[in-house]
Amino acid sequence: MSEAFDCAKCSESLYGRKYIQTDDGPYCVPCYDSTFANTCAECQQLIGHDSRELFYEDRHFHEGCFRCCRCKRSLADEPFTCQDNELLCNDCYCSAFSSQCSACGETVMPGSRKLEYGGQTWHEHCFLCSGCEQPLGSRSFVPDKGAHYCVPCYENKFAPRCARCSKTLTQGGVTYRDQPWHRECLVCTGCQTPLAGQQFTSRDDDPYCVACFGELFAPKCSSCKSPITGLGGGKYVSFEDRHWHHSCFSCARCSTSLVGQGFVPDGDQVLCQGCSQAGP
């Protein structure tokens, strides 16, 4: 009498039937699949013993079910990415999640070098200065109405230029006669003293410090012989071809101030009414 040769699970005879041998004994194919086969994460069907099975992150798939969730391309022999638990081929991933280069319009591939600014993205080699068209890379740049300039190009194109030396002003300039100047370029025409932050005046469009202007152009006080500049609110009195500071316009004899008073000229001097009437 022959020994029984039955399935280890359903106990049906395996004589003349296909079976699979395991450490626990032989199994008929249906019992083997129901006991040992994994469930496909895509179609939720068992992955039979005769099917090619693919495994990814604790999930099992039929070969035909391991595909891009968007374009349905097989991923069995293709590079892929998992995004939010969905499998994506590289093309679909780039289309859905990668940025488009604002310069060339091509996809900025994941892992490639890129630059981002103002909500836009560029390939590193596409982010160019709008002036010299050289890559900006990690260099400083200045945005202007949708364009981007390296600092030298921006200064050459847009920065104001000093009225004296014609070089660009980047910071610390001053304005004189509605024109920009470097602080170090605005100097007295006479003594070359810097005038930025100082009181000064001009003659024939040339700037002068108070001292040089007084020595070169201002009338001299007939009393103290110092220049009368009229700067800083200084008042003076003129009579014929002579001039006096307010503080110097006084009677030559009694020193009474004659500002707003009647006076009598006496040669090179001026006298108050009383001293004039008193005689020599």
pLDDT (0 to 100) of residue 233 = 53
Angle at alpha carbon of residue 63, lines to 9 and 19, rounded to 5°: 25
Same domain flag for 199 and 265? no
Same domain flag for 31 and 67? yes
Query: How far is Cα 9 from Cα 15, in angstroms, rounded to an integer?
Result: 15
Same domain flag for 35 and 80? yes
Query: What is the distance, to the nearest Å, from the Cα of residue 260 to the centroid of all Cα atoms in its chain?
Result: 63
The structure tokens listed for 115 are 């630059």
Give the residue from 76, 63, 30 showing the smallest Cα distance to 49: 30
Worst-scoring range by mean pLDDT, 137-141, 170-174, 178-182? Answer: 170-174
Average pLDDT over residues 99-114: 80
Residue for token digits 């079910």?
65
Q: What CATH number corresponds to the domain at position 238?
A: 2.10.110.10
- In tens, the pLDDT along 50-77 reads 888 888 888 899 888 888 988 888 888 8
Residue 252 located in a structural domain: yes
The backbone region for 6, taken as left when phi is positive above 0, alpha when psi lies in -120 to 50, beta otherwise, is beta
Of 34, 68, 95, the residue at which a domain comes to its end is 95
Residue 143 located in a structural domain: no
Of 168, 195, 217, the residue at which a domain comes to its end is 217
Q: Are 42 and 60 in contact (CB under 8 A)?
A: no
Say how many domains are in the chain: 3
Residue 231 located in a structural domain: yes
- Between residues 165 and 84, which one has the greater pLDDT? 165
Same domain flag for 187 and 208? yes
Average pLDDT of the chain is 85
Query: What is the distance, to the nearest Å, from the Cα of residue 193 to the centroid of all Cα atoms in its chain?
Result: 37
pLDDT band (50, 70, 90) for residue 190: very high
| Domain enclosing residue 207, as ranges | 182-217
Q: Give first-to-last CA distance, the chain, whole Å.
A: 174
Same domain flag for 228 and 211? no
Q: Are 221 and 234 in contact (CB under 8 A)?
A: no
Q: Are 162 and 170 in contact (CB under 8 A)?
A: no
The structure tokens listed for 193 are 């003293």
Residue 168 located in a structural domain: no
